[in-house]
């Protein structure tokens, strides 16, 4: 068994949370630059330029990319040959609390009394046991505005590709400018009522510009992106051909009588990173 100290996990998470809130991932910045070159709307192009300037200012001045510093979502892969020395859950929550000391706290302890926890905990933790002696931690700071416009559908099992695309497009159309486009769309297809949204959220971790390993889903992603960008919502809702930067599909086996579809909408501030221990 390979030991990993809980305090190391705390320290790595705390540092990573600050970093992802101040630095736009290179793939997102690259996608914004490419979009700015192609955008046909003058107002839309101006928004994209301002988003790039915002990313530069955040980096230079040590300020958050957005005032909404998000819910901290943790995807944890623990190798079965790893032994955590200490309390794993406590190490993650402590890292989140430490990382958010100088950032906005957005989590309330209860959905009805709305009292802020004052340290942005608890984080949402998804744990998977895998082979090997490595611990991987993917962090995602998920803003509330885009999350609010996400959706889950239980489609008929006979639904074809066109119906799936139509549902996704309708979800984005209804969202309009509220989730701060340009967007990244995480799409979970298959699984069950509870796992489809998790697939969708995991899909947001993929690098923009990468190609799906399955050629059918790679083609579907391109079709979805084309259809969404025909909506003319554009950057910040000012019109244009850049409503979304990417559509990422993650699929799973499902019941013969079911076809779950989850659409997790992410704003352009796609703040995430991977820690490998």
Helix, strand, coil % over all residues of the chain, rounded to 5: 40, 25, 35
Going by their DSSP bridges, the two strands 183-191 and 244-254 should be labelled as: parallel
Mean pLDDT, residues 59-64: 96
Cα–Cα dist 182/168, whole Å: 15
Does residue 195 contact residue 162 with C-beta atoms inside 8 Å?
no
pLDDT value for 23: 97
pTM, entire model: 0.95
State residue 50's pLDDT score.
98
Mean pLDDT on 76-97 = 97
What pLDDT is stored for residue 93 in this prediction? Answer: 98
170-185 pLDDT, tens digit per residue, is 999 999 999 999 999 9
- The reported pLDDT for the residue numbered 36 is 97
DSSP secondary-structure letter at 184?
E
Q: Which two tokens stand for residue 202?
A: 């995991």
Q: Which two tokens stand for residue 129?
A: 């046991």
- Please answer whether residues 258 and 154 qualify as being in contact, where contact means their C-beta atoms are separated by less than 8 angstroms: yes
Instruction: Give buried/exposed letters for 35-45 (b at 16+ CB in 10 A, else e).
Output: bbeebebeebb
Q: Taking a C-beta distance cutoff of 8 angstroms, is the pair 270, 184 a contact?
A: yes
> Which two structure tokens, joined as six digits, stand for 137?
């931690």
What's the sign of the alpha-carbon dihedral 25, 30, 35, 36? positive
Residue % of the chain over a pLDDT of 70: 100
**Nearest alpha carbon to residue 17 among 126, 105, 147:** 105
Q: Whole-number mean pLDDT of the chain?
A: 97
Classify residue 137 as left (phi > 0), alpha (psi -120 to 50) or beta.
Answer: beta
Intra-chain end-to-end CA distance of the chain, in Å: 14
Residues in Cβ contact with 28 at an 8 Å cutoff, skipping those fewer than 6 apart: 184, 208, 245, 268, 269, 270
CA distance 29 to 26: 5
pLDDT at 92: 98
- In three-state secondary structure terms, 161 is helix
Confidence band for 24, pLDDT divided at 50, 70 and 90: very high
Q: Are strands 71-79 and 2-5 parallel, antiparallel or unpaired?
A: unpaired
Q: Name the residue among 163, 190, 162, 189 with its Cα closest to residue 249.
A: 189
């Amino acid at each position: 068994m390979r030991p990993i100290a809980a305090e190391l996990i705390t320290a790595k998470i705390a540092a990573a949370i600050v970093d992802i809130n101040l630095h736009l991932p290179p793939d997102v910045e690259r996608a914004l630059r490419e979009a700015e070159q192609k955008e046909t709307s003058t107002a839309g192009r101006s928004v994209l330029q301002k988003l790039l300037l915002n990313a530069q200012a955040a980096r230079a001045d040590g300020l958050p990319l957005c005032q909404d510093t998000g819910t901290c979502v943790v995807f944890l892969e623990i190798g079965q040959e790893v032994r955590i020395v200490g309390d794993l859950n406590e190490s993650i929550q402590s890292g989140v609390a430490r990382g958010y000391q100088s950032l906005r706290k957005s989590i309330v302890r209860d959905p009805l009394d709305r009292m802020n926890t004052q340290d942005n905990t608890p984080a949402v933790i998804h744990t998977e046991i895998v082979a090997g002696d490595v611990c991987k931690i993917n962090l995602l700071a998920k803003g509330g505005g885009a999350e609010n416009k996400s959706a889950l559908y239980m489609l008929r099992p006979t639904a074809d590709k066109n119906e799936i695309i139509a549902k996704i497009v309708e979800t984005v159309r209804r969202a309009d400018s509220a989730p701060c486009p340009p967007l990244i769309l995480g799409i979970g297809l298959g699984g069950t009522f509870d796992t489809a949204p998790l697939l969708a959220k995991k899909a947001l971790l993929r690098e923009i510009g990468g190609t799906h390993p399955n050629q059918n889903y790679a083609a579907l992603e391109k079709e979805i992106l084309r259809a969404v960008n025909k909506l003319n919502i554009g950057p910040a809702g000012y019109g244009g051909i850049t409503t979304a930067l990417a559509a990422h599909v993650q699929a799973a086996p499902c019941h013969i009588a079911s076809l779950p579809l989850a659409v997790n909408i992410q704003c352009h501030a796609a703040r995430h990173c991977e820690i490998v221990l």
